[in-house]
Amino acid sequence: MAKEPLSELHLAAWRAFLKAHATVVDRIDHDLAAEQRLSLSSYDVLIELYEAPDRRLRMHELAQRVVLSRSGLTRLVDRLEAEGLLTRDRCGTDRRGAYAVITEQGVAALRKAWPVYARGISHYFARWLSQEEAQIFAAAFERLLQTSSDE
């Protein structure tokens, strides 16, 4: 149990955050599917690879950057590899380790999905926040992420 009682306001904010996140993610995923684009989880994996040095990450690094369980990530990477959107590259002398590497086909899929994703972010999220509210959200969430990685 928490040492300090949670205020009703903090509980309400927590619940609203969870519901809003689930709703927005579901709507954007639906829009991507309707346009026959990448799923949001596939996009998440591929954008992490795209933005990584040499467009590659070791599997454990990728697991730390995406919001999927390790088993869920393995299944998704298997599917993305089968679709030609990424490849696995063995790590030199470490036969157990492997890099996930985005392919040109994966980059093209990202580029195709981005307009739908951006429209969803704008329509379901950004238009409901003022610039000041967006700054507050960004600062608060960055602070939460920073303290989570420190613990």
Local confidence pLDDT in tens for the 151 residues of the chain: 557 789 999 999 999 999 999 999 999 999 999 999 999 999 999 999 999 999 999 988 998 899 777 788 889 999 999 999 999 998 766 666 789 999 999 999 999 999 999 999 999 999 999 999 999 999 999 998 887 655 5
> What type of residue is 94?
D
Task: Give tens-digit pLDDT for 29-38.
Answer: 999 999 999 9
The reported pLDDT for the residue numbered 93 is 64
Q: What CATH architecture does domain 26-141 belong to?
A: Orthogonal Bundle (1.10)
Calpha distance 8→52 (Å, rounded): 41
- The answer to whether the CB of 136 falls within 8 A of the CB of 113 is no
- Residues 6+ away with beta carbon under 8 Å from 13: none
For the chain, give every domain's residue range: 26-141
